[in-house]
Amino acid sequence: MRATELIRARAARLASPLGIEHAIVGGPMAGVEDTSTRLTRAFSGRWARGVVNRLMQEIDAAGDIAEYPIRNRLTQEIRAAANAQGRADYVSLWAGRAAGLAGTEPDGEVVGRLQRGPEALL
């Protein structure tokens, strides 16, 4: 499988009932669109694409983001507490540009579509 196919598979699995994101946000990842993501250094200090949420917006707006691993350590406790409380507005939700593929189907169905080929994810 090529990297792009793996990314699509991960995006398709985001909101599945067994996915960690489903446990954190209760399934609203299914409503995320490809335009709901952007590049940021807010969570870790490294560039990555994630679903826009309150923490990302506040850190990005403040500017002057510390480099990795400093930024990662600075946000670690916030993200851990948010995960424990199920607060999606303060966790890093990495989704890539294929976030619009997220669905609520069980993992087995996503795997079945993958076996038919990456086109079946679209």
Indicate if the pLDDT at residue 45 is higher than 80: yes
pLDDT band, very low/low/confident/very high, at 28 (cuts 50, 70, 90)? very low
* Span 46-104, pLDDT tens digits: 999 988 999 999 999 998 999 999 999 999 999 999 988 888 889 988 877 777 766 66
Say what the pLDDT of residue 99 is.
72
pLDDT reported for residue 8: 59
Tell me, yes or no, if the pTM score tops 0.75: no
CB count, 10 Å around CB of 30?
16
Cis peptide before 69 (omega within 30 of 0): yes
- Asked whether the predicted pLDDT for residue 17 surpasses 60, the reply is no
What is the rounded distance in angstroms from the CA atom of residue 105 to the CA atom of residue 26?
A: 13
